[in-house]
């Protein structure tokens, strides 16, 4: 049977990895797919460099539309990234009747509903395993392997840059800014790391997983997003003393009122497997009603790990290329006419527990005032840790020096809106000297 022909848009880190792995393992892949898969055209602005990477026998152009217009191309791989030209090219490829493989989580999280609808109308597939957690086959697990389950919640370390930074902060006692510079020096963080450290990248991925898990449209604009920039080395240390690790988690959860979709730092019990995922590795925990808890672990980025996921999508499309569109696995696991309108809850409605760190004047009655505010709000305390005074500060030039200390409080579950109000009251106390640090706590039991 004639090999299926593929056009590649962008031959950067992931594109070159895809080309190399596909060529290196072509016989094994052919045995699995039932026919050969060949990248026969590549589009890249740097034509000379691209031609050097792929060698003779592959047509290299600087215009992606030449690939889309080629009637011999069956599948288009989009590895350009971003929301702009990538969206235009993906929609044009679909309109031309091409199947699409993409690693572009930002594009799908923001414009996935439009893209999947266009693909369904045209009878083509959009495959995106590489968009979430790199080489970990989490999309296939959610969409196919766990299809018998009612998914209850997902919690994932799905950004390697932030996990590396948090690991360095814990292992070496570094502050955030120092750990970030180290990550940049080692190539784990971009020169502009905003999407990573502010949680946006993780939120793109969590949005996609949430849609597949619960059969809802992709709704990135409704995700709560908080990064790791405000975490201090002290919080990492205190969490450790209390038996927890701090990780940036993407969480989506089915609750009676709707769906939670949030990304933020979390305290996780140190005994949980996911709490021990270090460095730039990724891990996703899925809780299903039938299967219980499953854990998926591996490299979430990199040339060949991500290429592994891209090629898995190529094989899936090759197997189903001639199948009736109605018999293919739906893009978001659920049939398009059976999607749910469950609301994504605002963060103020989310119920979780909390770690609070208050920098206070070391004077009589401070702890009683703080715990009294929490009690009045109906917030139950799980544990309190008060450090001995370790700093001297000045209230003003005319007042005497005042000893300061940290008070650490762990709470039981409460609704976020109650905690917001309680924090505002505690912050207004004259004895609370700095902005209160609040980190959410997830037991993942």
- Predicted confidence at residue 397, as pLDDT, reads 55
- Predicted confidence at residue 318, as pLDDT, reads 96
pLDDT in tens, 120-179: 999 999 999 999 999 999 999 999 999 999 999 999 999 999 999 999 999 999 999 999
Please list the ranges in the chain whose pLDDT falls under 50: none
- Predicted confidence at residue 402, as pLDDT, reads 76
Q: Verify whether residue 205 is a known catalytic residue.
A: yes
In the chain, the percentage of residues whose pLDDT exceeds 70 is 97
With beta carbons less than 8 A apart as the criterion, state whether 141 and 294 touch: yes
- Predicted confidence at residue 321, as pLDDT, reads 80
Going by C-alpha positions, the residue among 429, 383, 378 that lies closest to residue 407 is 383
Phi, psi (rounded to 5 degrees) for 330: -60, 150
Dihedral-angle region of residue 26 (phi above 0 means left; psi in -120 to 50 means alpha; beta otherwise): alpha
pLDDT in tens, 70-114: 999 999 999 999 989 999 999 999 999 999 999 999 999 999 999
User: Exposure pattern of 276-312 as b/e (b: 16+ CB <10 Å)?
Assistant: ebeebbbbbbbbbeeeeeeebbbbbbbbbbbbbbbbb
CATH 3.40.50.2000 is right for the domain spanning 138-300:
no
Give this prediction's pTM: 0.95
CATH superfamily of 350-441: ACT domain (3.30.70.260)
CATH superfamily of 4-135+304-338: NAD(P)-binding Rossmann-like Domain (3.40.50.720)
Among 87, 98, 105, 205, the active-site one is 205
Task: Count CB-CB contacts under 10 A for residue 203.
Answer: 27
* 4-135+304-338 and 138-300 have identical folds: no
Q: Which long-range contacts (CB under 8 A, 24 or more apart) does 322-328 make?
A: 325/120, 325/123, 325/124, 328/125
DSSP state of 412: -
> Where are the domains positioned within the chain?
4-135+304-338, 138-300, 350-441
């Amino acid at each position: 049977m004639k090999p299926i022909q593929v056009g590649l848009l962008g031959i950067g880190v992931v594109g070159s990895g895809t080309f190399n792995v596909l060529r290196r393992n072509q016989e094994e892949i052919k045995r699995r797919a039932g026919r050969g898969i060949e990248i026969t055209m590549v589009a890249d602005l740097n034509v000379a460099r691209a031609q050097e990477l792929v060698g003779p026998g592959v047509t290299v152009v600087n215009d992606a539309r030449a690939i889309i217009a080629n009637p011999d191309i069956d599948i288009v791989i989009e590895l350009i990234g971003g929301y702009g030209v990538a969206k235009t090219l993906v929609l044009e490829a679909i309109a031309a009747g091409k199947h699409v493989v993409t690693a572009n989580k930002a594009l799908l999280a923001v414009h996935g509903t439009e893209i999947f609808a266009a693909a369904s109308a045209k009878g083509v597939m959009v495959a995106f395993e590489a968009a979430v957690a790199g080489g970990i086959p989490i999309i296939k697990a959610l969409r196919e392997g766990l299809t018998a389950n009612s998914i209850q919640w997902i919690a994932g370390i799905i950004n390697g840059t932030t996990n590396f930074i948090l690991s360095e902060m814990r292992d070496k006692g570094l502050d955030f800014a120092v750990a970030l510079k180290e990550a940049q020096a080692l190539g784990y963080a971009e020169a502009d790391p905003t999407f990573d450290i502010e949680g946006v990248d993780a939120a793109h991925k969590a949005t996609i997983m949430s849609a597949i898990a619960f059969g809802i449209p992709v709704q990135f604009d409704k995700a709560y997003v908080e990064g790791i920039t405000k975490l201090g080395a002290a919080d990492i240390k205190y969490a450790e003393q209390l038996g927890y690790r701090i990780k940036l988690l993407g969480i989506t959860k089915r609750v009676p009122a709707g769906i939670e979709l949030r990304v933020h730092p979390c305290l996780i019990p140190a005994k949980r497997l996911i709490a021990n995922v270090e460095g730039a590795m990724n891990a996703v925990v899925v809780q299903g009603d039938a299967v219980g808890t499953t854990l998926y672990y591996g490299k979430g980025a990199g040339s060949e790990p991500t290429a592994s996921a891209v090629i898995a999508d190529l094989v899936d499309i090759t197997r189903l290329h001639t199948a009736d569109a109605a018999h293919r696995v739906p893009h978001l696991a659920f049939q398009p006419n059976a999607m749910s309108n469950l609301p994504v809850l605002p963060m103020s409605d989310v119920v979780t527990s909390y770690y609070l760190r208050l920098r206070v004047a070391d004077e009589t009655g401070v702890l009683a005032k703080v715990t009294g505010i929490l009690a009045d709000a109906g917030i139950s305390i799980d544990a309190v840790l008060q450090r001995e005074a370790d700093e001297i500060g000045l209230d003003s030039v005319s007042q005497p020096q005042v000893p300061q200390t940290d008070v650490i409080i762990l709470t039981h579950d409460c609704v976020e809106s109650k905690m917001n109000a309680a924090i505002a009251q505690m912050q207004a106390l004259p004895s609370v000297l700095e902005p209160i640090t609040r980190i959410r706590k997830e037991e993942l039991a």
